[in-house]
Amino acid sequence: MKLTEDPHRRRNALTGEWVLVSPHRATRPWQGEVAQLKTASEPQYDPSCYLCPGNARVGGVRNPDYASTFVFDNDFAALKPQTVRERLDVEGKGLLITETEPGICRVICFSPRHDLTLATMSVDEIDPVVKTWREQFRELGDREVVNYVQIFENRGAMMGASNPHPHCQLWANENIPNYPARELAAQSEFLESKKQCLLCSYLKIEQNDRERIVVENEHFVALVPYWAVWPFETMILGRRHTQSLIDLNDDERNALAAIMRGLTIRYDNLFTTAFPYTMGFHQAPTDGIAHPEFHFHAHYFPPLLRSATVQKFMVGYEMLASPQRDITAETAAATLRGQTEVHFLDRS
């Protein structure tokens, strides 16, 4: 089997799901639109932005004149920290099940500057963001009602981000959500059967192979996972086996800031655009149980396929049967690796 030519499927070791890879189709003629997206530059301060310092949010609360990061409870929280537990089972048949889901939703601004992104911020500017993530993870994870903390960033209108101001969200809730639960189960099973960490073992293969590595530093590796579904999907993996941001020492925290910067710059440079993505950390549950099986990591899911405007859609076969991709993970990694680490909008 030639991975560069023959159609094949690859298994995601973290979820058990398969992705169909059709490398022979990557060379087919493209008839769609390949337009250049105008990169409109944002102002440093936008008087109409509800995240800029000093501005009022919906409901009238005014943001402080913050100088670094800023955290607040989401004004439109998807979860509420209510305490009444309830479970409904319509007609007792186990078909229509409903449960209360207590939780907390917060917004974390990365910078007072409206025009910056993680890709255009310096490592020294990103480091306080990582510190804030860690503090928030610790603070919320310590709460009785919180068993799982999800930090995620939606970047770009294509991903539904409502505001270009650099920010992310944090949702903390009682139940471990679907995807982390699946990854937890896979890691747990692997540790039990192989007596090794799934992602430590996986990273060793990737470090020997090197084909899917995009950028790396002393403590972290960013790579296109073997089983990637999105064209330029990546993961950031720590070289050391840790469970969450809390376990990182100062050097590792700084290295995480640096690799996130290095990766997002390459993303932006790829199609000279503010590359849209959803990214997030997967950290061990905060359920009071030790999770030696869990390996802290980040996922990036970007929708772009071959230009700033040509997007991959999960439709047809992908909605009904299985995800599919044309360019291989190896080609995607080589393409990203080839980008420079100087941002195309370099501030200096």
In the bound state with Zn ion, the residue whose beta carbon lies nearer, of 200 and 310, is 200
- Cβ-count burial of 8 within 10 angstroms (0-12 exposed, 13-18 middle, 19+ buried)? middle
In the bound state with Zn ion, the residue whose beta carbon lies nearer, of 51 and 140, is 51
Q: Is 114 in the site for Zn ion (CB under 5 A)?
A: yes
Q: Is 282 in the site for Zn ion (CB under 5 A)?
A: yes
Among positions 295, 312, 325, 343, the unique one binding Zn ion when judged by CB under 5 A:
295
Nearest alpha-carbon partner for 169 in 156, 154, 181: 154
Taking a C-beta distance cutoff of 8 angstroms, is the pair 170, 105 a contact? Answer: yes
Q: Is 252 in the site for Zn ion (CB under 5 A)?
A: no
Phi-psi region for residue 210, left (φ > 0), alpha (ψ -120 to 50) or beta? Answer: left
Among positions 197, 246, 334, 345, the unique one binding Zn ion when judged by CB under 5 A:
197
CB of 53 to Zn ion, least distance (A): 8
CA distance 162 to 107: 12
DSSP string over 287-320: SSS--TT---EEEEE--B-SSSS-B----THHHH
Among positions 20, 49, 71, 310, the unique one binding Zn ion when judged by CB under 5 A:
49
**Enzyme catalytic residues:** 167
Q: Is 51 in the site for Zn ion (CB under 5 A)?
A: yes
Q: Is 293 in the site for Zn ion (CB under 5 A)?
A: no
Considering only the stretches 2-10, 93-101, 164-172, 338-346, report the one whose residues sit in contact with Zn ion under the rule CB under 5 A: 164-172
> CB under 8 Å to 320, separation ≥6 — which residues?
none
CB of 163 to Zn ion, least distance (A): 7
In the bound state with Zn ion, the residue whose beta carbon lies nearer, of 186 and 269, is 186
Considering only the stretches 89-97, 131-139, 144-152, 281-289, report the one whose residues sit in contact with Zn ion under the rule CB under 5 A: 281-289
CB of 201 to Zn ion, least distance (A): 8
> CA of 57: how far to CAs of 48, 51, 79, 103, 217, in Å?
10, 7, 19, 22, 39
Residue 198-217 contact track with Zn ion, rule CB under 5 A, x = bound: -xx-----------------
Taking a C-beta distance cutoff of 8 angstroms, is the pair 1, 8 a contact? Answer: yes
Nearest alpha-carbon partner for 204 in 195, 213, 192: 213
Taking a C-beta distance cutoff of 8 angstroms, is the pair 237, 220 a contact? Answer: yes
Spatial strand order of the sheet with 8-11 comes to 8-11, 18-21, 324-325
In the bound state with Zn ion, the residue whose beta carbon lies nearer, of 49 and 159, is 49
In the bound state with Zn ion, the residue whose beta carbon lies nearer, of 14 and 257, is 14
Instruction: Tell me how many residues contact Zn ion (CB under 5 A).
Output: 13
Binding site for Zn ion (CB under 5 A): 46, 49, 51-52, 114, 165, 183, 197, 199-200, 241, 282, 295
